[in-house]
Structure 1
């Protein structure tokens, strides 16, 4: 997710990154000692060795702790800003979230590449910057981190705040008192799904691509890229919470692990439409990957694992 995602991701797993090649994976051959040509095996394409790499699992601890801190900080920000007596809680919340994400990216990027979000890990695997196996490990620990962050927040807030603010989690609807009894207010599932898809795609297109693109990442620098990612996320949070102007809707999640933690801890209505916070980002990631396949090759400067989704499917079918 950060500018050094390419270097950092593979340096900890012991896998040396090779330059991108326009030749399909099924036609590529790996040169070993003695210049003997051997075909790339299915295990190598899937990166199954990552499951048995101690370095990969140790690096994933950065993802676990980073996601835990992310959930604790963002959910605290959500609760505190709406508790404040201000006319612009959305603006303040968005600014604080942008700052928090930037700081966490700078802290975690040197360890694991700085994903702290299943969206980044999944899109990196689709594009081919990391293996499917490494992405699976990262997403798994990110979900655990989200749960730990929600548990930590629950331990420090009282039951009233937990109930009134849904532990700062991702919600489509809430149950509120009405003139004739409790009523459900919030956003339609279809609208929320479209917001997740659009916001996730914009997030990847407008910021994460700078981290994936080795040329831009090197030119802009680590700190600037992390700052841009935080700024774009903050803007998308502000847009998604403002454009709907609907009470009960917490805005676009764009991070399934962040939404999962409070849902497990708080239970109840946080599970209503929870699938949207997974399906929407997943579709957005696929749309972004298709974009990377459409643009001209001379404008594609992401060096990486090259086990991207299409080439992996092609290799499996041959």
Structure 2
């Protein structure tokens, strides 16, 4: 069972040079992603006098986040795995691909990266606000909760299929960042008009902290973490674990024949 792969890790992991380098990569990548995504929304608001909820604004947000995430994952994939998202890290943890302690280090780096990105945006734009994620008119908290679960499931499932599945390891440098960026862009087009389509607790945390607006903030943690966790368990249980068992069984058969 995939659940047996879960590991707490050793305390040394929190200060080992490799873990610190990986955390730094996560910090920089998340900063790049949030700066591009949040900055595009601020720029569009300035150019259109706060009309970011128009179809054009939604498309602009989708493109900015897709391009930004493509770059963020690409530049950190070979160092930290290119998570850039606490929900991805949580899904990877449940599948046994990262220990709990290393995952916590990643979370801290991701949250700091998002916060610093929003502070830099506020500083470099003359004090413009970094808007916290919010629900659109007529959208309930539970509507947004389900949306975040479904959208993040699709994102983390894509991460598993293109990056964490060892059978796809040769494509990590090319296919994975493109696919991950595309699914985020597509989900923003699908859910952005309803709740902003976060899919990433770090992306929601930075703007909320800098603007000090925590309205319905729990939705942008609970939804992505549940969706990411389900995706990790589903992919591990149905696609990776059975393949691993068949591989071990084949090896045992070969050794018996010899």
Q: TM-score, normalised by structure 2?
A: 0.83
Tell whether the 8 Å contact from 2:157 to 2:235 is kept in structure 1 after alignment: no
| Structure 1 residue corresponding to 2:86, chosen from 114, 118, 124 | 118
Q: Distance in 2 between matches of 1:273 and 1:24?
A: 31
Query: How far apart are 1:54 and its partner, in Å?
Result: 2.5
| Equivalence for 1:264 | 209
Q: Does 1:75 align with 2:56?
A: no
Tell whether the 8 Å contact from 2:34 to 2:117 is kept in structure 1 after alignment: yes
| Equivalence for 2:234 | 291
| Equivalence for 1:240 | 191
Tell whether the 8 Å contact from 2:77 to 2:173 is kept in structure 1 after alignment: no
Bigger helix share: 2
| Equivalence for 1:222 | 173
Offset from partner CA, 1:8-58 (integer Å, 9 cap, x none): xxxxxxxxxxxxxx79959xxxxxxxxxxxxxxxxx942123124132113
The size of the alignment, in residue pairs, is 239
Query: How far apart are 1:79 and its partner, in Å?
Result: 1.9
Q: Distance in 1 between matches of 2:224 and 2:2?
A: 30
Q: Distance in 1 between matches of 2:133 and 2:2?
A: 42
Q: Distance in 1 between matches of 2:63 and 2:3?
A: 43
| Equivalence for 2:13 | 50
Q: SS state of the match for residue 204, structure 1?
A: helix
Q: Which moved more, 1:81-90 or 1:276-285?
A: 81-90
Tell whether the 8 Å contact from 2:86 to 2:225 is kept in structure 1 after alignment: no
Q: Which 4+ runs in 1 deviate beyond 6 A?
A: none
Q: Distance in 2 between matches of 1:153 and 1:204?
A: 28
| Equivalence for 2:146 | 194
| Equivalence for 1:92 | 60
Query: How far apart are 1:135 and its partner, in Å?
Result: 0.5
Judged with a 3 Å threshold, the aligned counterparts in structure 2 of structure 1 residues 91 and 129 are, in CA distance, closer, same or farther, namely same
Q: Does 1:135 align with 2:103?
A: yes
Q: Distance in 1 between matches of 2:88 and 2:223?
A: 14
| Structure 1 residue corresponding to 2:161, chosen from 200, 205, 209 | 209
Q: Distance in 1 between matches of 2:219 and 2:3?
A: 34
Structure 1 portions without partners, runs of 5+: 1-21, 27-43, 174-184, 302-318
Q: CA RMSD in A?
A: 2.6
Tell whether the 8 Å contact from 1:71 to 1:146 is kept in structure 2 after alignment: yes
Bigger strand share: 1
Judged with a 3 Å threshold, the aligned counterparts in structure 2 of structure 1 residues 74 and 158 are, in CA distance, closer, same or farther, namely same
Q: TM-score, normalised by structure 1?
A: 0.68
Q: Does 1:170 align with 2:133?
A: yes
Q: SS state of the match for residue 83, structure 2?
A: coil
| Structure 2 residue corresponding to 1:282, chosen from 205, 209, 225 | 225
Tell whether the 8 Å contact from 1:193 to 1:280 is kept in structure 2 after alignment: yes
Structure 2 portions without partners, runs of 5+: 49-53, 246-258
Judged with a 3 Å threshold, the aligned counterparts in structure 2 of structure 1 residues 228 and 111 are, in CA distance, closer, same or farther, namely same
| Equivalence for 1:4 | none
